[in-house]
Chain A
Amino acid sequence: MQPLDDVVKEFLVESLENLDRLDRSLVDLEQDPHDRENLASIFRTIHTIKGTCGFLGFGKLESVSHVGESLLSRMRDGELVLNAAITTGLLAMVDAIRRILAVVEATGGEPNEDYGELIAMLNRLNAPGQKPAAAPAATVVMAEAVAAPGPASSPVGTATDTTAPRPEHAPARATEEIPMEIEIVDARSSDERPTGGERRPAIVDTSLRVDVGLLDKLMNLVGELVLARNQILQFTTSLSDSAFIGATQRLNLVASELQEGVMKTRMQPIDNVWSKFPRVVRDLAIACGKQVRIEMVGKDTELDKTIIEAIKDPLTHVVRNSADHGIETPSARIACGKPPEGVVRLRAFHEGGQINIEISDDGAGIDPEKVRRKAVDRSMVSAEQAARMSDHEALRLIFLPGFSTAEKITNVSGRGVGMDVVKTNIEKIGGTVDIQSTLGQGTTLKIRIPLTLAIIPALMVSTGGEVFAIPQVSLLELVRLEGEHARAGIERIGAATFYRLRGNLLPLVQLHSELNLASQGDPGIVNIVVLKADDRQFGLVVDSVNDTEEIVVKPLGRQLKSVQVFAGATIMGDGHVALILDATRLAQQAHVLSADRDRKPSDRQGGPLAHETADAQTWMLFQVNGTERMAMPLHLVARLEEFATADIERSGGQEVVQYRGEILPLVSLTRFFGGTANSESDPRQVIVFSDHGRSVGLVVDRILDIVTETITPTRSQARSGILGAAVIQQRVTDLLDVAAIVRHALPESVSEPVAA
């Protein structure tokens, strides 16, 4: 029985794969019923299933697929045009086949369920009396029916390949009694087990199924090979045998190519997940009485198999959400001046070593007010907290467990489990989720997933006598300062150090102090590794930069789980173990990045007060109006500049200065808060920050300090331009409302939320 089991197994795998494609093809066909190629391919799929299952003796499966085939063959011959009812019928058939296959897979036999009703429905579709052109399928069916009872004892016998070509050759001269004939045939075929053609499918010719476990093993072995190669490459530096060097170079090349090849075997196009979405959306749209079209860009974007598996469910959920909650009913859409048909757009692309997946719809959007209310109703946040949140922050509340904004709970979504699960699942594979929504215009969900592959290029650096690997994914550039630059280039504000990288303030993190190591670097040289952690940049100061190496990521033991700045370890060419740094965690530990890693920096702009959480934030302190201490979150600061009073011009009643080829509006904070500008020094101290590509300069008396502190703000001091006050460095400090200042300086931006 073993070989038979294998045959059945292969049949199942193949059929299920084909069925997934079928869903998609059918929906496509509905859009363009005259696409003959598509139709032919659908026909072939069903025909293959029918043929094979007859051969394997699955009678019910055969009878179901048989009626479908009859229907399709008539369509293929142009006698029947696909309509919504037929599509639904065919999709129902696909579902039935899938169910049967599932039972076969589980038990080895067919289910007891009776598919008579489905078969009858398909037959009705196949036999509309008003259709004058009769069905060639009927003849096929008849022919098969005749052949069937006979050779039942020898399934592989007579009625073999002939069934396939027959519909083409015999588009029978029309007959009126077809419906009846079909009824008879079907009645029989569901009782008996007629045989069909056992034609093998054509797709297997060029591809091969491989067990994923085997691929994983291969991947590990290649990893070992890469390590061994690295070790051998090290020897070439000390040996000068030309034959040895030649062989090593060849080994190097072959190993690299092998590694690339093995990695490719694990890559699959994202279309493997997407292909079922047209069906999902179609079913949903019909169930909700909506018109929804799905568009896909970047179907070929390849992801590692494990990632494909991990994102399957979250993506399905999001797409369903878009169709169910996002897109409005046709009448509502028309009332808003939108076309009745809504669009769900899927986009996937590689960027910066990460995979980006965006799911957007042009539906109603999410009302942040509603989200706030809901969150308060469900006691997820206090009313006060909710009020202080920026719209974007409020939107992100939907990622909290147990949140659902759907007014009514439908059977498809809105049960309050969902977005939090989506977020958790994506985060499990090291990804991030963000949401953007404009009321009335639609919602976009952005998912970013790292290309987590076991072998990655990395930069090796040394600090305190230890070697560390930094994945190149997070690497932006290297800066080396020597002599005078090393002394003067690093600026200190309080305990924090900065480097002006092309005018931008780059916060620096000393790796040795973050890791409690003693620096062994040359004090006259500063090596800065500019890293990207989420959307922020920071400079990591290391003792020396070694070289780049392909490293094999190995996990750390459970004993080291508490040390989060390391993403794993690797074995270097010389056999030593090196730790892999996690740039994001490192930035968090150094407070360059808040521990809440999902939040983009701009989210904070609207309300730093919303962060009453325990995580410390870095603030820039400055003096205004002679004596007032104020603070703003450091990450909002793009640059610190000085402008001579003579350079300041006026435009539209506002002070401006020419800056980097643009006109930079200046806001004197002293004057904004009702003081006179006498105390302002010359040159003026200006904090430049950018918002939506526009820059604004805040003129302050003096920059005081930069501190990282957990603050407890109060609102008691609130007035225009001030969000509240807090005790920073044991002194009462006002917290600047940056958004209000922007509104003041750039009145045209009022309509747009600053933090969007």
Chain B
Amino acid sequence: MSTLTANAASSLAGASAPTGTARQFCTFVLDDLYFGVEVLKVQEVIRYQDMTRVPLAPGVVQGLINLRGQIVTAIDLRRRLELPERSDDARPMNVVVRTSDGVVSLLVDEIGDVVEVDDASFERPPDTISGAARALVTGVYKLKHRLLLALDVEQTTALDLESAAERRI
């Protein structure tokens, strides 16, 4: 894990020369970890929006946002992945993804570039990834300077499968 560098992901754009079958990932940073979801699943990326809290909701649900007349549930990915809470003044970004159950927004710290990865660089999630993240990450792409954790959008947004312990309040 120590190989992961903390800073902006932009320098990596295009760094990995595509060979063989390539996929595009929309990347973002959460607590110094570098994640990605397949670009085709991403509807849009928008900056921080005012949210309506949902009382009694599972803790990972941050609130509801008004996305041009559509009501979208925002999931705090830090909580979902059981990472430390983000500091209060930090404003998360919305990665709006399409799932089988409609559109859901994932709240992330920082947006990276769209990167192209090679299937050949894919590996099963290493044992060092712990906790909730392990169940939600399909695998790791070994980029030149860092590792990209590929997130399973369906699993990440399917809260009803989680145990009650997952729910706060």
- Interface residue ranges, A against B (CB under 8 Å): 224, 227, 464, 466, 515-517, 554, 556-563, 565-566, 569-571, 575-579
Q: Does B64 contact A (CB under 8 A)?
A: yes
Contact status B56-A557, CB under 8 Å: no
Measured between alpha carbons, how far is A349 from B71 in the docked complex, in Å? 34
- Interface residue ranges, B against A (CB under 8 Å): 50-58, 60-61, 63-66, 69-73, 75, 101-102, 104, 157-160, 167, 169
> Which residues of chain B have C-beta atoms less than 8 A from A554's C-beta?
70-71
Asked whether A562 and B71 contact (CB < 8 A) given A466-B52, A516-B169, the answer is no
> Which residues of chain B have C-beta atoms less than 8 A from A517's C-beta?
55
- Quick one: which of A517, A556, A571, A577 has the most chain B CB within 10 A? A577
Measured between alpha carbons, how far is A224 from B69 in the docked complex, in Å? 7
Contact status B101-A466, CB under 8 Å: no
Contact status B50-A560, CB under 8 Å: no
Given contacts A466-B52, A560-B54, A571-B66, 6 further A-B pairs with CB under 8 A are: A554-B71, A557-B72, A559-B157, A565-B56, A570-B71, A576-B50
> Which residues of chain B have C-beta atoms less than 8 A from A556's C-beta?
64, 71, 73
Measured between alpha carbons, how far is A702 from B16 in the docked complex, in Å? 82
Query: Which residue from B65, B104, B157, B169 sits with its C-beta under 8 Å from A577?
Result: B65
Q: How far is the CB of B51 from chain A (nearest CB, A)?
A: 8
Contact status B61-A559, CB under 8 Å: yes
Query: Which residue from A515, A557, A578 sits with its C-beta under 8 Å from B52?
Result: A578
Contact status B56-A227, CB under 8 Å: no
Contact status A515-B65, CB under 8 Å: no
> Which residues of chain B have C-beta atoms less than 8 A from A560's C-beta?
54, 57-58, 61, 73
> Which residues of chain A have C-beta atoms less than 8 A from B72's C-beta?
557
Contact status B104-A557, CB under 8 Å: yes
> Which residues of chain A have C-beta atoms less than 8 A from B55's C-beta?
464, 466, 515-517, 563, 579
Contact status A562-B50, CB under 8 Å: no
Which 5 A-B pairs have CB atoms at the shortest separation, nearest pair first? Answer: A515-B55, A557-B73, A577-B52, A577-B64, A559-B159
> Which residues of chain B have C-beta atoms less than 8 A from A561's C-beta?
160
Measured between alpha carbons, how far is A563 from B73 in the docked complex, in Å? 13
Contact status A558-B160, CB under 8 Å: yes
User: Can you give 20 A-B contacts (C-beta < 8 A)?
Assistant: A464-B55, A466-B52, A466-B53, A557-B73, A557-B104, A559-B73, A559-B160, A560-B61, A562-B159, A562-B167, A566-B54, A571-B66, A571-B71, A575-B66, A576-B50, A576-B52, A577-B64, A579-B54, A579-B55, A579-B64
> Which residues of chain B have C-beta atoms less than 8 A from A579's C-beta?
52, 54-55, 64
> Which residues of chain A have C-beta atoms less than 8 A from B71's C-beta?
554, 556, 569-571, 577
- Quick one: which of A464, A516, A517, A579 has the most chain B CB within 10 A? A579
Contact status A515-B56, CB under 8 Å: yes
Asked whether A516 and B56 contact (CB < 8 A) given A227-B69, A577-B65, the answer is yes
Contact status B69-A571, CB under 8 Å: yes
Chain B: CB-nearest residue to A570 = B71
Q: How far is the CB of A395 from chain B (nearest CB, A)?
A: 36
> Which residues of chain B have C-beta atoms less than 8 A from A562's C-beta?
57-58, 159-160, 167
Contact status A559-B58, CB under 8 Å: yes
Measured between alpha carbons, how far is A633 from B31 in the docked complex, in Å? 54
> Which residues of chain B have C-beta atoms less than 8 A from A558's C-beta?
101-102, 157-160
Q: How far is the CB of B66 from chain A (nearest CB, A)?
A: 5
Q: How far is the CB of B157 from chain A (nearest CB, A)?
A: 7
Chain B: CB-nearest residue to A517 = B55
> Which residues of chain A have C-beta atoms less than 8 A from B70's C-beta?
554
> Which residues of chain B have C-beta atoms less than 8 A from A570's C-beta?
71
> Which residues of chain A have C-beta atoms less than 8 A from B57's C-beta?
559-560, 562-563
Chain B: CB-nearest residue to A512 = B55
Measured between alpha carbons, how far is A559 from B104 in the docked complex, in Å? 9
Q: How far is the CB of A571 from chain B (nearest CB, A)?
A: 5
Measured between alpha carbons, how far is A455 from B61 in the docked complex, in Å? 26
Query: Which residue from B51, B53, B60, B101 sits with its C-beta under 8 Å from A557?
Result: B101
Contact status A576-B66, CB under 8 Å: yes
> Which residues of chain A have C-beta atoms less than 8 A from B101's C-beta?
557-558
> Which residues of chain A have C-beta atoms less than 8 A from B60's C-beta?
559
> Which residues of chain A have C-beta atoms less than 8 A from B50's C-beta?
576
Measured between alpha carbons, how far is A676 from B38 in the docked complex, in Å? 82
Measured between alpha carbons, how far is A575 from B69 in the docked complex, in Å? 8
Q: How far is the CB of B125 from chain A (nearest CB, A)?
A: 24
Measured between alpha carbons, how far is A227 from B102 in the docked complex, in Å? 21
Measured between alpha carbons, how far is A570 from B71 in the docked complex, in Å? 8
Chain A: CB-nearest residue to B60 = A559
Measured between alpha carbons, how far is A19 from B64 in the docked complex, in Å? 50
Q: How far is the CB of B38 from chain A (nearest CB, A)?
A: 20
Measured between alpha carbons, how far is A517 from B57 in the docked complex, in Å? 12
> Which residues of chain B have C-beta atoms less than 8 A from A565's C-beta?
56
Chain B: CB-nearest residue to A576 = B52
Measured between alpha carbons, how far is A682 from B97 in the docked complex, in Å? 70
Q: How far is the CB of B95 from chain A (nearest CB, A)?
A: 15
Contact status B169-A559, CB under 8 Å: no
Measured between alpha carbons, how far is A571 from B50 in the docked complex, in Å? 13
Q: How far is the CB of B162 from chain A (nearest CB, A)?
A: 10
Chain B: CB-nearest residue to A568 = B71
Measured between alpha carbons, how far is A561 from B158 in the docked complex, in Å? 11
Measured between alpha carbons, how far is A575 from B71 in the docked complex, in Å? 11
> Which residues of chain A have C-beta atoms less than 8 A from B53's C-beta?
466
Q: How far is the CB of B121 from chain A (nearest CB, A)?
A: 32
Measured between alpha carbons, how far is A559 from B102 in the docked complex, in Å? 11
> Which residues of chain A have C-beta atoms less than 8 A from B51's C-beta?
577
> Which residues of chain A have C-beta atoms less than 8 A from B61's C-beta?
559-560
